[in-house]
Structure 1
Amino acid sequence: MAVIQRVSLSLLIAVVAPAVLFYGFFAIAGVWTAIAAALVWSYGAIAWRAVTGRRASGLLILAAILLTGRTALSVVADSPWLYFLQPIISDGVVAVLFLLSLASARPMVARLAGDFYPMDHELAARPRVRRLFRNLTIMWAVLGLAKAAAMLWLLQSQTLGTFVLVKSISMLAVNVLAAFATVGLAAFVARKEGLLGSPRWVLAGT
């Protein structure tokens, strides 16, 4: 439960809130105001956690970096269309990086797991945990490639308003479902490894 709460909070802050803000401002005030609102939210969330003495998650920092790059390039090119093309490209690039990480001793999911659960070398080296990290890395890589292909088709074939609406709903739903699938698989492995209810598991919620 503690891990589910942590993942849910990270997703809410880094993914759900900026997506909702973006669409709300897009509908009311236009694309550039929506872009600014999403960026302000991300850096505001990082600043708030710093002021309150809490570490910002890797997901939140990554989201802020990607939003910054997207915004800067779009402003320089004066092209909202470019703003929406960039995450499609980044989804594809990240998916490829996930696939490439499978050739290393630490697949990408293993590198990110510490944001959500205290992870030491002994735990990470367990066979079931290693298989979990590998399978989740494959799952997120395939998902990233599928998202990139679907959104590229949508961007090229639909109006900007339709694209934003469909993307805001569908991608948010896909990301949330994938995140909870990740947590479910992790909980299954944790139960098999006897970690549920352990002090280490409880620590994840502090």
Structure 2
Amino acid sequence: MLRLFNVATAVIVALAWMVGAMAWRYATRRPVSGLLLLTLGILTVRTAFTLVTGNAFVYFVQPVFADFAVAVIFLGSLWTSRPVIARLAPDFYPMSASVAARPEMRALFRRLTLMWGLVILVKGGITLWLLETLSTANFVLIKGGAIITLTLTAAVVTLVWAVVVGRQQGLIHRK
């Protein structure tokens, strides 16, 4: 939409896509998650602000601040007894409190929390750098590929690392 029309059309279409996703979930009687509602609220504010100011930079820089805040949360949680990944892990792999308390698992959670905190920080830095150095159209084209590559690489590292530790701990058996 940015290439075919302009920034205003592109942000309106992005918001319409999100509204359509919510409408589809309602129409098919699927639950609408709190995350989807939160995303819709944030996207609505971003879109309105962009339309009022006519400034695309403001639209695209807001996620950078969110990335930096999330990175601080991840990295800050390393000074707690349960870093962020330790809190999220049971959502991805059911485990008892005794398994999660194993020293090897606690070390994995700390290392993954550190890795993801740094990945999110780098993601925000790359996004800001691209936003400041590229045209809006080139930013939109390049940012997606760069960030997806970074995120998928981190996800693969997370999965491999977790499987290795899971096997060492007897939680995952070879077939």
- Shorter-chain TM band: 0.7 to 0.9
Matched to 1:132, the amino acid is: L
In 2, distance between residues paired with 1:167 and 1:41? Answer: 20
Task: Tell me the residue number matched to 2:138.
Answer: 162
Partners of 1:46 and 1:116 in 2: CA distance: 28
- Spell out the pairing of 1:118-157 with structure 2 (5 A cutoff): 118-157=94-133
SS class of match (2:170):
coil
1:109 aligns with 2:85: yes
Question: Residue 7 of structure 2 contacts residue 56 of structure 2 at CA under 8 Å; is this kept in 1?
Answer: yes
TM-score by length of 1: 0.69
Name 1:73's counterpart in structure 2.
Answer: 46
Q: Is the 8 A contact 1:71 1:83 kept in 2?
A: no
- Residue 32 of structure 1 and its aligned partner are, at CA, apart by 4.3
Structure with more relative contact order (C-alpha pairs < 8 Å, separation 6 or more): 1
| Cα distance, 1:45 vs structure 2 | 6.7
| Partner Cα distance (2:128, 2:17) in 1 | 26
For residues 100 and 166 of structure 1, the distance between their equivalents in structure 2, rounded to whole angstroms, comes to 30
> Which range moves more in the overlay, 117-126 or 130-139?
117-126
Q: Cα–Cα, structure 1 residues 42 and 118, in superposed 2: closer, same or farther, change >3 Å?
A: farther
8 Å Cα contact 1:107-1:133 kept in structure 2: yes
How many pairs align?
169
Aligned equivalent of 1:16: none
Quick one: which amino acid aligns to residue 177 of structure 1?
T
Answer with 1 or 2: which has the greater Rg: 2
Contact 2:12 2:47 in 1 (8 A): no
Displacement of 1:48 in angstroms is 3.5
RMSD of aligned residue pairs (Cα, Å): 2.9
Q: Give 2:147's aligned amino acid.
A: M
- Seq. identity, %: 37
Paired AA for residue 110 in structure 2: R
Residue 105 of structure 1: SS of its match in structure 2? coil
After TM superposition, the structure 1 = structure 2 runs for residues 21-40 of structure 1, keeping only pairs within 5 Å, are 25-28=1-4, 30-39=6-15
Q: Give the letter for the 2:29 counterpart.
A: V
Return structure 1 stretches of 4+ with deviation > 3 angstroms: 25-43, 45-53
User: Structure 1 residues 101, 161: closer, same or farther in 2, change over 3 A?
Assistant: same
- Alpha-carbon distance between aligned partners in 2 of 1:143 and 1:187, rounded to the nearest angstrom: 20
What is the CA distance between 1:163 and its match in structure 2? 0.7
Q: Which whole-Å deviations, capped at 9, do the CAs of 1:162-182 have from their partners, x for residues lacking one?
A: 111110111011111111111
Secondary structure, counterpart of 2:166 in structure 1: helix
The CA distance in 2 between the partners of 1:31 and 1:75, in whole Å, is: 12
Letter in 2 for 1:149: G
Aligned position for 1:18: none
Distance 1:173 1:157 in 2: 20
Return closer, same or farther for 1:181/1:34 CA change in 2, 3 Å cut-off.
Answer: farther
1:69-110 superposed Cα distances (whole Å, 9 cap, x missing partner): 244134134433212101111111110111111111110111
SS of structure 1 residue aligned to 2:79: coil
Equivalent residues in 2 for 1:176-191, closer than 5 Å: 176-191=152-167
